[in-house]
Structure 1
């Protein structure tokens, strides 16, 4: 008889229940509601892992790397850092377990600048100066650039009252926002910024534009700046500037340190961090806070070399981060699309990027960034099916239980409430994990959340400003996740769901991918031949346009054409963000050629009859490899300032403050700038324009010796609201 209050079950059902329980206890993996789990989390001793992390070693790495000078890819400090990391991997992992992946990348290289202060023809002092990051692709070469020195403090218009600016050189405080544009508007030949006692990344980011305005800008040390402020009060003092700042193809490399797995050597977990740095003053990019990620990578490599995991782990020190993730794109091209991985003989399951800052201690796990903006409801299942619940339901709770700590970890895989896939990061960013994701891989970044990284991007990113205590909780989370993934008895991932794919679109956008190589050529129309000829050594830019456009300057891929006018770019995406069906990314390719003597643009994108009107510049890249063509013409640049909508007196385009794009932003009225031949009152055969709408500067390109007429149209009907010519009372024609 069954007891009171209990429910009797048939003996067969009780036996079945016991059998299921025994099976679950015996098998190394189990499945609940379709989610496959590996070893019980109690087998992971996360507390021991985090207790063995050596923060003194991390501090030594950061101090050493930030002592080399600029680590901008291609600069001297970068190569010192490359050697340091390579030698460390060889020492810790053994020479046979270190791979050097070489590639080339286009960079703006500061080859040196000096300011000679003259009084009555006599040299008072020669000062070292440093170039500011270029406006788009427009670098410069100046020789014997002379002018009276004008000190205009913050660069407000009122600061220029009574000063003779036109044709002279303006001295400004660095912490002056975009006041340097007022100097350019008023006809200054160049600007010199004085080093402040401290600054922020916001100040750095407003010192350059996304349009190719030719306007040399320099930075001087505070002692030299104070001297210049003093002598600027003397009417008989002038300065002479000499500088070389040009694009070049730099030799670059990724360093891969391999720890072979003890049980599953052909299953690979990738852990990566970039070791290059960026500063608005590229020659002064010490990047101490940036270095904490790669320093953490080196420490994780040491730990796993002494505590070998079940799976093979690649520790990848990437470069070219600020060159549109060049190193990460090249890594994916060579290793993820290697014959061994494509065939499945080796399985590269997960890519984990470290993108840490000591400005805060919170972290977010992010799969999506602003390089590709890749993500949709279908592809998100790649992350949500196993990885997200495994991390947030097992790894993090177990880590907290074992350490007795609470960790602030934002879930960027499964956004909810008031947080999106960008977590609490209020501005654009790029992740070294993004190229792996668009190639159909399973990747994410452990990134510091809820901070603005104000100490990065300028010459004050030094060791003294690193707050290493903030790194500890972030690295403990990252170490636990990497340890768990590397030591699961069985990953709950079907490899075909994360295997590399060049181009993929399944039914109804259930899964998307696209990682292709574009091969292109730069042409110019040769009137005497009646056909096109190649343009060697041109600077080529590729960027996403249309709904996927981003104003984030580092998401533009820059390369250079060779002697035959040819170029190649790895990592052009196919599909990106979408609602259900996904979105086909549209990429725009344009080229410029700069004068070898002055650096001024000599050839610009041709919007005319033999250029974009005949040969498209924008492409939906849907196969590998994909061939493109872009056309330039010999041009004279003309700068236009204060380009705004004159009716409501507002910017032509509003940008979303978080994404810095036009999605989910206040609507802007349609607008166009069209260039006409002033003599024929028709469009030029060849002409060009660079304008982005959210900046108040535009650059027109006209044929040499031409007279142009600019029509400004705004509104739904594109009514003409302005006509601009370069006529004057003396020359009204």
Structure 2
């Protein structure tokens, strides 16, 4: 066989000198094996010529190459078919034929069951809990609420409640006041700016109190703000930032009217400004404002606000089931609600709206104790809900996620299902939710598996509505199988962090019952003291009729197991000391470590979205039950873990972004497996706070910040920054902080 070079490709000539085929070109590829070279023929087609002369294909192609191409065509077809089947299998709804539902109540019994749940009975629990000034996790008020719940669980007569303890990092204080020649005024520290609590040096802050009205520039015109403390009324909203920019040292907010929840969001930033901010109730602030309207007052502010590691407590009691089947003996169905409270003024958090869920749990527990489920029902009351759902994450991690369960087990560690109660009183309808805003797990991995649970609930709701002479649309919304194309988030006008999300990423079939179309306008405020008990009673009546029928089963709740994507992050906070070694290895004790996501969220209806933990004396810390980045939309991309040491409200150590810090030891982590470790490098620093970072040309927030050494125009060897990036929250403070070594001259662009 001879050949000729045409366009760099050797074309085949027949042995008898025939012209080369235009349909077949052979390229030679050498494959070296030891000292040998083997030539391999590769066939390429010229489609235009093949169309003109289709008979030439058979002559040009050797038989083995035709079989080779046919084989891979068949492989491609089979692959597409398999992909179609897998996609259909993964997205179609599922039903377990062995569900074995047990109907406890007949339709004629629904009116009698519903009548047992009265507004007065629910409000009695809410009044008892909201009478406690604050139920913030780890405080005496939270412990008092725990004892109330313990007594209610004991009254069920099914056994002694079990308490699970866990560490929780929360802002606390013992003293906060303004001392003036005219008297001492009580202050209430606001929630920290990022990690900076509303604290003063031990000797206090010597200042002048000036009245700033609603905080507008016109109301402070002609007043000396440098070093002063501005006393503003709650209508100020974010205007207090302009007063700080003009030199004010601290801010005191005085309640003028019942403050809605969004006021709390505008009284803080997430970029760690050292600006003490305090709250006074209307009664506390009236005498002070009366004095300030006539003259400024010399004063000294004192506050020992700080972060502390306290003990959070979950409590549960098990109501034994009736089933004699072997697999039901070790399985539980968890019915959960949180009992702690939250406010942008931590020590003024009555949390009446926030007590609706636990009130419903206590009343439903009485019914379940009387009419038993087939499976054991665990009534679970969690705290730490408003600290990045810490209590639910700790329960899910300690009881499920940290253990190893068979991959096909639909009830990992004996947890057959988890149902959360996140109820409020702003509306009469309750919805069945499969997702929330905290982890926002991808719906394609959750929705198909739980779709049948939603449809079954809807069927029973139709029966219940008929028996109670109501319309189903007035009672219930199935957000798993949306009607009219409305997804679950369209029924939640405010961001919701749901406790069932923690159990869901641990692999437990989990759903939440949530009050729909309720903005919870006054929740998480110092004046959360009123509820519409009739609206709440209507929701609880539906749940009382629904749960013992629709979710009382002997079989499995799901056919296929859920994704298990829970991750625990452990780490150390260290510093680099060249006198002690070539690597950062010196522990930084008692650092406050925060975790923020790529799409950072600030507050979800009172829930602080960023996990915060306090490192121990060795600089070690852990944050359990975070979601894999591939499954949890909120954490998609990375999580940044940043350590700070805060003393008297000042940041004295900050994360190092320089050469021996983040550049060599990244603090951004992609959670991709069950256990993850990292090292966070910090350095002693001075802080520069920046305000009013707005582009005056288009009024956009500045979302990039470059720090350079003034002499060399290069990044400093040691430095750190924070910048509040534009994201989803409705209010973004135009602020930033820069951390640098003392004495450094910097250029900021």
Which band: TM-score by shorter chain?
Answer: 0.7 to 0.9
Partner of 1:708: 746
| Greater shift in the superposed pair: 157-166 or 398-407 | 398-407
Tell me how far 1:235 sits from its aligned partner.
Answer: 4.3
Q: Distance in 1 between matches of 2:255 and 2:632?
A: 45
Structure 2 match to 1:131: 189
Equivalent position of 2:341 in the other structure: 277
Q: Do residues 80 (structure 1) and 144 (structure 2) align?
A: yes
Q: What is aligned with 2:171?
A: 108
Give how far 1:448 is off.
Answer: 1.2
Q: CA deviation at 1:186?
A: 1.1
Match in the other structure for 1:523: 574
Mean Cα deviation higher: 352-361 or 472-481? 472-481
| Structure 2 match to 1:243 | 303
How far 1:424 moved relative to its partner? 2.1
Separation (CA, whole Å) in 2 of partners of 1:423 and 1:110? 39
CA distance in 1, matches of 2:402, 2:718: 44
- 8 Å Cα contact 1:485-1:491 kept in structure 2: no
Return the alpha-carbon distance in structure 2 between the equivalents of residues 43 and 456 of structure 1.
35
Change (3 A) 1:339 1:635: closer
1:685 to 2:723 alignment: no
Higher mean C-alpha deviation, range 241-250 or range 259-268 = 259-268
Structure 1 residue matching 2:701: 3-state secondary structure: coil
Does residue 1:410 correspond to 2:460, yes or no?
Answer: no
Q: Which residue of 1 aligns with 2:225?
A: 165
Match of 1:555 among 609, 612, 620: 609
Paired residues of 2:118 and 2:537 also in contact (CA < 8 A) = no
Q: 1:362 aligns with which of 429, 447, 450?
A: 429
Which residue of 2 is the match for residue 631 of structure 1? 681
Counterparts in 2 of 1:48 and 1:685: CA distance versus 1, 3 Å: same
Following the alignment from structure 1 to structure 2, what is the Cα–Cα distance between the partners of residues 223 and 583? Answer: 43
| 1:698–1:340 distance in 2 versus 1, CA, 3 Å | closer
Partner of residue 204, structure 1: 264
SS at match of 1:53: coil
Maintained 8 Å contact 2:335/2:361: yes
In structure 2, distance between residues paired with 1:340 and 1:550: 32
Q: CA deviation at 1:341?
A: 7.1
Once the two structures are superposed, residues 132-159 of structure 1 have per-residue CA deviations (whole angstroms, 9 ceiling, x without a partner) of: 1111111143143122211111111222
* Corresponding residue for residue 153 of structure 1: 213
Q: Is the contact made by 2:134 and 2:347 (CA closer than 8 Å) also made in structure 1? A: yes
Q: 1:473 offset after TM fit, Å?
A: 2.1
Q: Which residue of 2 aligns with 1:564?
A: 618
State the 1:82 CA deviation: 1.0
Partner of 2:495: 428
CA drift of 1:414 comes to 2.6
Asked whether the equivalents of residues 559 and 569 of structure 1 are also in contact (C-alpha less than 8 Å), the reply is yes
What's the secondary structure of 2:204's corresponding residue? strand
Distance 1:432 1:346, change over 3 A: closer
Structure-to-structure mapping, 1:301-380, within 5 angstroms: 301-337=365-401, 347-380=414-447
Q: Distance in 1 between matches of 2:566 and 2:469?
A: 43
Alignment partners' CA distance in 1, 2:499 and 2:383: 10
Contact 2:159-2:318 within 8 A present in 1 as well = no
Change in Cα spacing, 1:251 to 1:690, as seen in structure 2 (3 Å) is same
Of the two, which has the highest radius of gyration? 2
- The yes-or-no answer on 1:604 pairing with 2:654 is yes
* Residue 480 (structure 1) aligned to one of 530, 533, 545: 545
Equivalent position of 1:7 in the other structure: none
Give the Å deviation of 1:219: 1.0
After superposition, the Cα gap between the structure-2 partners of 1:179 and 1:649, relative to the gap in structure 1 and judged at 3 Å, is closer
- Equivalent residue pairs, number: 632
Are 2:650 and 1:586 equivalent residues in the alignment?
no
Question: In structure 2, do the counterparts of structure 1 residues 152 and 281 end up closer, same or farther at CA, with 3 Å as the change threshold?
Answer: same
Tell me, yes or no, if the aligned pair for 1:675 and 1:684 is still in contact at 8 Å.
Answer: yes
Tell me the CA shift for residue 317 of structure 1.
0.4
From the superposition, tell whether residues 423 and 648 of structure 1 become closer, same or farther in structure 2 (CA, over 3 Å). Answer: closer
Match of 2:287 in 1: 227
**Cα offset, 1:279, TM superposition:** 0.6
Q: Distance in 2 between matches of 1:139 and 1:578?
A: 30
| 1:189 alignment partner in structure 2 | 249
Q: State the 1:51 CA deviation.
A: 2.8
| Aligned with residue 396 of structure 1, among 450, 454, 461 | 461
Q: Unaligned stretches of 5+ in structure 2? A: 1-92, 727-732
Q: Contact (CA 8 Å) 2:629, 2:638: kept in 1 or not? A: no
Give the structure 2 partner of residue 451 of structure 1: 518
TM-score, length-scaled by structure 1: 0.82
Are the equivalent residues in 2 in contact too, given 1:590–1:605 (CA < 8 A)? Answer: yes
SS of residue paired to 2:491:
coil
Contact 2:101 2:550 in 1 (8 A): no
Aligned residue for 1:556, secondary structure, equals coil
SS of residue in 2 equivalent to 1:493: coil
Against the structure 1 CA distance between its residues 583 and 556, is the aligned structure 2 distance closer, same or farther, given a 3 Å change threshold?
A: closer
User: What do residues 678-729 of structure 1 show as CA deviations (whole Å, max 9, x unaligned)?
Assistant: 2333211111111023331111111112121101xxxxxxxxxxxxxxxxxx
Is the 1:310–1:486 Cα contact (8 Å) retained in structure 2? no
Tell me what 2:156 maps to: 92
Q: Secondary structure at the match of 2:645?
A: strand
Relative distance call for 1:418 and 1:380 in structure 2 (3 A) is: closer
1:79 positional shift: 1.1
Structure 1 residues 524 and 613 mapped into 2: Cα distance closer, same or farther (>3 Å)? same
Question: Shift of the alpha carbon at 1:389?
Answer: 1.5
- Given that residues 509 and 557 in structure 2 are in contact (C-alpha distance below 8 angstroms), is that contact kept between their aligned partners in structure 1? no
Partner residue, 1:536: 589
Deviates more, 1:411-420 or 1:264-273: 411-420
TM-superposed deviation, 1:575: 4.3
Deviations 1:506-526 (A, max 9, x none): xxxxxx431021111111111
Q: Say if 1:466 and 1:262 are closer, same or farther in 2 by CA, change over 3 A.
A: same
CA shift, 1:584, in A, is 5.3
Contact 1:574–1:585 (CA<8 Å) still a contact in 2? Answer: no
Contact 2:575–2:588, Cα closer than 8 Å, also in 1: yes
Query: Matches of 1:479 and 1:526 in 2, distance apart?
Result: 62
Cα displacement (A) at 1:608: 0.8
Q: For 2:538 and 2:296, how far apart are their aligned partners in 1? A: 59
Q: Which moved more, 1:634-643 or 1:263-272?
A: 263-272
Structure 1, residues 509-563: CA drift from partner, whole Å, max 9, x if none? xxx4310211111111113223311111000011221xx5434471211001111
Deviations 1:425-471 (A, max 9, x none): 22322001111111222111111111211121111111xx2110010
- The within-5 A match list for 1:718-733 is none
**Counterpart of 2:336 in 1: which secondary structure?**
strand
Gaps of 5+ in 1: 1-31, 119-123, 499-511, 653-670, 712-733
CA contact 1:53–1:303 (8 Å) conserved in 2: no
2-structure distance, mates of 1:174, 1:322: 23
Given that 2:401 and 2:566 are in contact with CA atoms closer than 8 Å, whether structure 1 keeps it comes out as: no
Distance in 1 (alpha carbons) for counterparts of 2:503 and 2:417: 9
Alignment check: 8 A CA contact 1:311 1:486 kept: no
Tell me if the contact between 2:215 and 2:240 (Cα under 8 Å) persists in the aligned partners. Answer: yes
The question of 1:471 aligning with 2:536 is answered yes
- SS of 2:223's equivalent in the other structure is coil
